[in-house]
Structure 1
Amino acid sequence: MDALIGAAARALAAGDPLGALDRVALRDDAPALALRGIAMAQLGEFGRAKALLREAARGFGAKEAVARARCVVAEAEIAFASRDLGWPAKALDSAIATLYAHGDRVNAAHARYLTARRLLLTGRLDEAERRLAVFDARLLPPALRAAHELVVAGVALRRLRSQAARAALARAERAAREAGIPALSAEVESAARVLHKPAARVIAGGEQRLVLLDEVEKLFAEPPHRAQSTRRPLIIDACRYAISDANATVALASRPVLFTLARLLGEAWPADVPRDTLIAHAFRAKRADETHRARLRVEIGRLRAALGTLAGIDASSRGFALKPRHASDVVVLAPPADGEHAAVLAFLSDGEAWSSSALALVLGASQRTVQRALDSLAAAGKVQPVGDGRARRWMTPPAAGFATALLLPAPFPS
């Protein structure tokens, strides 16, 4: 390694991409191309960065497997930062194996963090935790340790473990300060602000209020003694489309009509809901006729069967009412900013630029459905496109003041 390459690498490690470019901007050998690619990525020029890294990987010889693997890792980091979640994960796994085989444990650990980050973004929390558990973060350099703790905090937030998230963010803040990289410190600070923003709305007794993640965690917490199990309410979670009490959980994410009916009944509890209101919201019918009423009876029967031991549904002269079997209260947990496309906005509010294909992947929806949602949000001025064609990305400033951990994909807490 010559002096300029070494100096450029040290500048990048310190978060100084312009200083790195000053040293290698006019060189086109493989190491210089790789460093230029990383510098461009740090400056936000992701398209140019990927092109430079691929050119660098081709320029390294057959005996330079480690250098090629490092290029793969850098390209993967750019892909995930630009929310290109369809990037081939197998290539990253192969790079990890190469780096470990040649003793480059620091870059291998960084690559493992990237795989965990992708799993976190796509809601595969169990796999993300397994990836994080295989190495000791204390052995990592400060910058990588901060990145590792950010993923740990992200998993804790999705699991509704606010104390664990707070502890991980504190460790990330110390590591970022030790690394001395302003951009990393800013990222940690931005992540920590989630804990101080409203995470959901609680609707009960005809009233609603915004709550922080700590309060949501307490809502789902198991009572300290089994004899007090009736104190936990029946929770109709409109963030994760599930219903639970202290004893059981029923997921209705794949049955939107049933969940809509359950939410309407929960918001009105202990009163009943008129049949015409249920039909208008669940079936989107402007005028109810006998076919709608017959369908409503069928869907209410299905909802009774799905709720099982959680609650019953009683018919009244004008409609239906929810009757919890074990809980003494009913609470609806709704997104802080309600609306038809709240889940799409939840992802975009992280301030990153997302492709419609990445949004479709994490939402489990078709790309066409996501595109229609994006067009609707753009028409309302809530999101904006950047770029054209396959390079188009969607983003919105994170100025809504809401945390979105509850809207991101995660298994419903049991």
Structure 2
Amino acid sequence: MDSLISAAAQALAAGDPLGALNRVALRDDPPALALRGIAMARLGDVIRAKVLLRQAARGFGPKAAMARARCAVAEAEIALAARDLSWPTKTLAEARTTLEQHGDRTNAAYARSLEIRRMVLVGQLDEAERGLADLDPSPLHPAARTIYELIVAGLALRRLQTKAARSALERASRTAHRTRSPELHAEIERAATTLSAPAARLTRDGEDHLLQLDEVEALFRSDMLILDACRLSIRQGSQIVPLARRPVLFALARRLVEKSPDGVPRTELIAHAFRGKDADESHRARLRVEIGRLRHLLRGLAEVNATKDGFALRPGGNRDVVVLAPPVEDENASVLACLADGEAWSSSGLAVALGESQRTVQRALESLASSGKVQSFGRGRAQRWTCTVVTEFATALLLPAWSSLD
């Protein structure tokens, strides 16, 4: 490695991409191209960064397996920063294996942390937990170690483990002081604010109360029967009944819980769950079927009994029953929650993260854009979306967490 390449690498490690470019901007050998690509990514030119890294990988050739693997890891890092969640994860796994075989423990550990970060973004929490348990962060440099602690904190927030999240953020803050990266400090500060921001609205006996994440965590440990309108489920203690993919059952359950222990007329349930203006015999027959399905799902948690003109929900063991909802309810709340991380997302990235079709996400973005809540820049495949307003509540309960519920 010549002196200019070494100096450029040191400048990048110190958080000075312009200093790195000053040393290698006019060179087109593979090491210089790789460093230029990383520097351009740090400066926000993601498209140019990808081109440079691919040129570098081709330039290294098949015999320089470790150098090519490092380029693949850098490209994966750029894809994650650009929220390109469709980037091939197999390529990153192969690069990590190559680095491990060649004894590059530092970059191999960083590649694994990128894999885990993607898992957290798309809600694969169980897989992310297993990955963190197997990852040794000791080889990571300060910036990468900070990112590792942010991953730990993000996973803890999704799991509503606020004490663990706070500890991870404190470690991240200490490690970040050894770097000169304002982006890392901003990300730590953004994550820390979620611990004190309103996270949900609790409705009990007709009264609403705003709760922070630690209060929601305590609520989930109680023996109350909770209709969770944030993650579309019903839970009591460790028992969780996911209803995210069964909107009719969730709509019926919510109306029954809101009126419990009183009954709800059949006409009201039909209008609420089926969007029917006039209840005819077919609606009543469908209501009986859906109530039967709901009874089966709630067995052991609550009973759904017929009344003179409708149905009533009564929790088992004379437990209290409450509704937990987002502070501000919006049919596109999950899209806003993803955009609230401050990054620019593509519609395809949002679709992967939320488990929805890209067209469904595009319609949600168009609706949010018409109300001034989001804005876009770029066109075609380069189009990205950002949140135009700062979210004043914690979004952890609205982010995807498929593994823990489904």
TM-score range, shorter chain: over 0.9
1:249 counterpart = 2:240? yes
Out of 290, 296, 308, the position equivalent to 1:305 is 296
Task: Output the CA distance in 2 between the equivalents of 1:364 and 1:181.
Answer: 32
Task: Output the CA distance in 1 between the equivalents of 2:8 and 2:281.
Answer: 75
Task: Output the CA distance in 2 between the equivalents of 1:408 and 1:68.
Answer: 34
Aligned-pair CA distance for 1:235: 0.6
Query: Aligned ranges for residues 45-64 of structure 1 at < 5 Å?
Result: 45-64=45-64
Task: Output the CA distance in 1 between the equivalents of 2:6 and 2:41.
Answer: 19
Code of the residue aligned with 2:276 in structure 1: it is A
Code of the residue aligned with 1:304 in structure 2: it is R
Code of the residue aligned with 1:169 in structure 2: it is L
Aligned-pair CA distance for 1:412: 4.1
Aligned-pair CA distance for 1:108: 0.9
Which residue is 1:228 aligned to?
none
Contact in 1 for aligned 2:270/2:283 (Cα 8 Å): yes
1:141 counterpart = 2:132? no
Q: Deviations over 1:262-305 (max 9, x none)?
A: 01111222333233332222111233333323322222222112
1:204 counterpart = 2:218? no
Q: Deviations over 1:338-369 (max 9, x none)?
A: 12111111111112122222222222222222
Which residue is 1:387 aligned to?
378
3-state SS of paired residue (1:321) = strand
Query: Aligned ranges for residues 185-334 of structure 1 at < 5 Å?
Result: 185-221=185-221, 232-246=223-237, 248-334=239-325
Query: Aligned ranges for residues 179-190 of structure 1 at < 5 Å?
Result: 179-190=179-190
TM (norm. structure 2) is 0.95
Aligned length: 405
Contact in 1 for aligned 2:230/2:325 (Cα 8 Å): yes
Code of the residue aligned with 2:232 in structure 1: it is Y
Task: Output the CA distance in 2 between the equivalents of 1:270 and 1:48.
Answer: 61
Which residue is 1:4 aligned to?
4
Task: Output the CA distance in 2 between the equivalents of 1:171 and 1:391.
Answer: 35
Query: Aligned ranges for residues 13-52 of structure 1 at < 5 Å?
Result: 13-52=13-52
Task: Output the CA distance in 2 between the equivalents of 1:380 and 1:402.
Answer: 19
Out of 308, 327, 340, the position equivalent to 2:331 is 340
In structure 2, the CA distance between the partners of 1:327 and 1:94, relative to structure 1 (3 Å rule), is: farther
3-state SS of paired residue (1:195) = coil
Aligned-pair CA distance for 1:318: 4.1
In structure 2, the CA distance between the partners of 1:87 and 1:256, relative to structure 1 (3 Å rule), is: same
Contact in 1 for aligned 2:372/2:388 (Cα 8 Å): no
Which residue is 1:166 aligned to?
166
Task: Output the CA distance in 2 between the equivalents of 1:124 and 1:413.
Answer: 10
Structure 2, unmatched stretches of 5+, are none
Contact in 2 for aligned 1:383/1:396 (Cα 8 Å): yes
Q: Deviations over 1:295-326 (max 9, x none)?
A: 22222222112211111123334432211012
Aligned-pair CA distance for 1:137: 2.2
Contact in 1 for aligned 2:112/2:135 (Cα 8 Å): no
Task: Output the CA distance in 2 between the equivalents of 1:359 and 1:83.
Answer: 8
Contact in 2 for aligned 1:240/1:412 (Cα 8 Å): no
Code of the residue aligned with 2:78 in structure 1: it is I
Instruction: Please say which of residues 82-91 and 270-279 is displaced more in the overlay.
Output: 270-279
Aligned-pair CA distance for 1:193: 1.3
